[in-house]
Chain A
């Protein structure tokens, strides 16, 4: 795909350099002459957006690290000091905090793009797997970073997540203590999290280089999912892809800036403006929005399966939710790459996207929140009347507490009338809670990868895939020119 290099060193210096370190040739072949499919849509600009996100996070992060103090007594105050006293600290801190959300927003669009257009299929399996590794490193980096301001959510989020490692048999508790650097989340945890938070972005950087390298070996996938056959299918990266990337980047930065300047706290949790207090647990401990789907999967398992405790089950599923992405290139059995030509798969894909969104919602709710219940709670009491006659009285309510309150009122009336209460029975309605909802959603999440994609590829009847990109574009323009023929 990369083909023979077309780089011609012009100046004497370029010729000198090219014989010793052909870095200019690499740049020319990768970002100027690199052939890109001409049918790429705007979903293919998120690579550029993500590069910008990574650079933004690294640059703002380096500046923040100059002013931040990783100590349990000073971390919270130092972040306030950055926002109040460091020149443009309010801006740099806001870009970094908002930037994490923007980074994940972009990476999710990028990943769903890959999923829809089958970008993980041969020969791009390794490209996809490196991408999953980048995503995993991003999750860890973001989690570590969220701990650093040392607010209530920082502290308790770290507590909850490190505690999940205790579910691992035998080595669980030692792992947890090793992560925390002690028996509880404390100063050693904060300093090591800071150190790793600074390290991991450079690991991501290395992975990104491999990702781009692998991309430039296989070439880009495209919305029609057919391989590039000849020059008629492609345009040079510069100026065609460059200018399109820049348009996309400009609109993305516009939205980014709207958050940074006008909604700096909209994506964070108010509790993180309360300094960490190891003795005061917040009523709801939730991660940032981009990790909520995994949090929902983690909490969905509220039952043990044989030797696997509920906690370990949740942990395994959460790890599995990312792990299954690694196996995806071999789970999808379809010969057709793009879902543009897989009408049935497209429906399951849309449901999958909705399910991921719903998992995000469920992750932000209390697991015991009742979504739907069949009827109200009913408490029926029996009493013996003054004359020895049996009588019944009833209290009902949407919650058990309300029913009890109503019941006590009725009981008081009966007692006032001279009857002696005997016994009571409670009728509990069927309740559909967030936990059950999360279980259904988790089931679909895994079924999509482990059942639907493997079976669908063998059973479905795909649409007619064009032979080449040029032909696909030709067909599209013919249809647009004669819209009435397309019924």
Chain B
């Protein structure tokens, strides 16, 4: 991959560089101005917001059954699903005699229970085992296939990165940080997934391409991805009605978690830090008043 990447012809690169200068000096070509995404009250918004784990779990199902057919999730490992803050975190009791985890339940530990390490988490292990990893056996040099383990990265639907572009014309973007890679990401992805409409009269896809769909939230209006979240596209195991809006909310919750799995830890630590600093600043101010009390300034 690396070699082919470098083999990119010098000409193509120079063309791209010239293109960049064009952007700076020549008027930008504005296709239809994209609509602003609609605002949704996410449970994870704000400094105290947290994920609705049932929604993140359903979102994982959408990712697995719909998105993963074309999109990679390169930066995630299966163990992430069972780590603190993840959708499949589990708790139980460690039997010291056998070394096995007992009474394992989905959800963070409550009284008495302990967090099951992601590598031992049965839910995570079951999810990982559904995928096959192809790798080279270092002892034989032959290609072998084995079930994925929690420590493996999310398996790509493609055998190599070029296949994605070859199949779809445009490589579907990796979804690991898609929420962070778009302005107002969570709202944007929800609007995009539910925002497909018929093109306005007279609006033609660029170059008359037949495989493009119209979506007013997408910059330029024409997107390679056809509408995906049609009613009842998936059958939720918890009985939630699979409406397009519900599915979009769930998958956005999952992708928002995936783009920043440490968000819960970050907010929790942040709260403690801010409280500590507020007290410290107050004490220092009191010290300042004390030191300067007899000095005119």
Q: Which residues of A contact B (CB under 8 A)?
A: 38-40, 72-73, 77, 80-81, 83-84, 90-91, 94, 156, 159-160, 163, 183-187, 235, 239-240, 243-244, 246-247, 250-251, 253-254, 257-258, 260-262, 264-265, 270-271, 273-274, 278-281, 283-285, 299, 302, 310, 366-368, 473-474, 477
Contact = CB atoms under 8 A, between A and B. Distances in A.
Contacts of B180: 265, 270, 273
Interface in B269-283: 269-271, 273-274, 277-278, 280-281
Given A80-B177, A254-B277, A183 B27 contact: no
B211 to A, nearest CB: 19
B24 A285 contact: yes
Interface stretch (B121-129, B137-145, B226-234, B259-267): B259-267
Interface in B15-58: 16-17, 19-21, 23-25, 27-28, 47
Contact of B13 (A77, A247, A261, A278): A278
Contacts of A477: 296
B20 A285 contact: yes
A284 B292 CA distance: 51
B295 interface: yes
Contacts of A270: 180-183, 185
Contact of B8 (A39, A262, A278, A285): A278
B19 A281 contact: yes
B185 to A, nearest CB: 7
Contacts of B262: 83-84, 90
B80 interface: yes
Nearest to B259: A273
A72 B20 contact: no
A455 to B, nearest CB: 35
B266 A257 contact: no
B12 interface: yes
Given A235-B295, A473-B297, A246 B284 contact: yes
Contacts, number: 143
Contact of B277 (A186, A250, A265): A250
Contacts of B280: 250
Contact of B266 (A91, A185, A299, A366): A91
Nearest to B296: A473
A156 B20 contact: yes
Nearest to B8: A278
Nearest to A40: B297
B239 to A, nearest CB: 33
Contacts of B292: 240, 243-244
B20 A163 contact: yes
Contact of A281 (B23, B182, B266): B23
Nearest to B286: A247
A186 B280 CA distance: 47
Given A247-B285, A270-B180, A274-B181, A260 B17 contact: no
Top-7 shortest CB links A-B: A261-B270, A273-B181, A250-B281, A184-B13, A90-B262, A273-B180, A254-B277
Contacts of A244: 288, 292
B1 interface: yes
Contacts of A247: 281, 284-285, 287-288
B75 A183 contact: no
A239 B295 CA distance: 12
B181 to A, nearest CB: 4
Contact of A368 (B20, B27, B183, B265): B27
27 contacts: A39-B297, A73-B5, A91-B269, A163-B17, A183-B14, A184-B10, A185-B17, A243-B288, A246-B284, A247-B281, A247-B285, A250-B277, A251-B281, A258-B274, A260-B270, A261-B270, A261-B273, A264-B266, A265-B180, A278-B16, A281-B20, A285-B23, A299-B24, A310-B25, A368-B27, A368-B28, A477-B296
B96 interface: no
